[in-house]
Amino acid sequence: MNPSIERLTFICTSAPWHPGPRARILPLAAHAAARGVAVTVLCLDPAFAQHPRIQVQDTGVTVMNVAQMHIGADGAPFTGVWLWWMVLRATGTLTFAALHSRPDALVIAKSQPMNGIAGLIVGACRRIPVLLDTDDDEAGSHTHAHPFVVRALSWFARRLPGWVKSTTCATQWQTNQIVKIGNVRVSAIPNGVTAQQCTSPTQAALEAFRRQQNLPAAYLVYIGNWSTRAHAVDLLIRAYAASERRLPLVLAGSGHDRSVLCALAESLGIGETVVWIETLSPAEVILLLAGARASIDPIRDTPAAAARCPLKIIESIAQGIPVITSPVGDRQALLGTAGIYATAGDVDSYAEAIDYACTQHDSGVELPRLGAAFRWDILATRWYRAHKLMLPEVAHAR
């Protein structure tokens, strides 16, 4: 049996408050930290010059912002020579920071070249197991990039699982794609929620949040990136405009496409019924979802959409509200009867689903039970076992 690890490092290519680290990597890191492991999460930051370099979470996880991310503070990606300089600098900084953390094992979070190359170098130098956790189709998610960059990302993502000890994916769909590579160890572990996210807020807390955000008594909600390419928010706005619009639509998040989406809403005559809320804290997300009639995960049928296990889906069923989405990737398997399904990419189909959600008041007794099945205290144990990482016993944790 392998000895238990004492030091573990995760290498991410996004900021700690972005969905990937916040909703997946940090809970996994906290699980190990609670058992006495010294855990470091290395991140890139879109506003690197404005934020502190090192933060220690209340879970005991050390989070380090080590370099500028490949997108700016406004969410717009860098291009040209400036992009390549950022990529080279981030790769080098991630490598040195990971070496300095002296891990017994290292996790590459997302199969991108920056953290992938850094992780492979550190693994070879320190002769430690290098693991991969992926929750996205990186090439498919960078449709705005130059075709050469997309091809390079695709080439690297296909080969990285063969260069690491083991791989975990957030969806069975992506796991099946990696299995086709052959001679790789890969497991599917979906995204999850904390015990707090499975707890329903009090009515008093909901009312106070509604007053603070000036929200109506009932509404539909989208939580995530305000993007026209990666997250099809333009599809959602068009579908909402085509629906009977019985309830207001709340769009919570951030993104560099906000001005484009606002202009689209105004041109369709729905500007006054769409509410925009800037990025919320995890506790506020719970309150926003708990007060919604339904949440919406608008998608087009692409590999990038199929590879994702959207946090908004898991958070929604944890709060007992249905999700309007399409049966692409793992979504139907995850949601079951908690889903209100529309044809991917079809405006009229999403409009019909929105109208249906507005007339339904009973979300079904299955939803809280489904949410509880995705608790991180259960999923994290499965994740560490999948990678054959031995953690110290709780009784002996520091």
Domains of the chain: 7-192+375-396 (3.40.50.2000), 196-372 (3.40.50.2000)
> What six digits make up the tokens of 33?
């930290």
The DSSP bridge partners found for residue 225 are: 254
Q: Which of 29-43, 90-104, 181-195 has the lowest mean pLDDT?
A: 181-195
Distances from the Cα of 293 to the Cαs of 45, 88, 221, 338, 356, in angstroms?
34, 46, 8, 12, 11
* Ordered alpha helix ranges (H), 47-146: 80-100, 113-126, 138-141
Amino acid at 13: T
pLDDT digits (tens, 9 = 90+) for 321-368: 999 999 999 999 999 888 999 999 999 999 999 999 998 765 444 454
Distance in angstroms (rounded) separating the CA atoms of residues 368 and 97: 41
The DSSP bridge partners found for residue 55 are: 63
Residue 277's H or E segment, with its range, is: strand 274-278
| Mean per-residue pLDDT of the chain | 89
Distances from the Cα of 370 to the Cαs of 93, 179, 262, 286, 331, in angstroms?
41, 27, 35, 16, 13
Residue 362: how many CB atoms within 10 A of its CB? 6
Q: Is 393 helix (H, G, I), strand (E, B) or coil?
A: coil
Mean of pLDDT values over 261-280: 93
Mean of pLDDT values over 121-149: 81
Asked if the model's pLDDT at residue 216 lies above 80, the reply is yes
> What six digits make up the tokens of 288?
């926003």
CA 3 to chain centre: 31
Extract long-range pairs of 327-333: CB within 8 Å, 24+ residues apart: 328/299, 328/301, 329/171, 329/173, 329/174, 329/305, 330/171, 330/172, 330/173, 330/190, 331/297, 333/172
pLDDT band at 282 (very low <50, low <70, confident <90, very high): confident
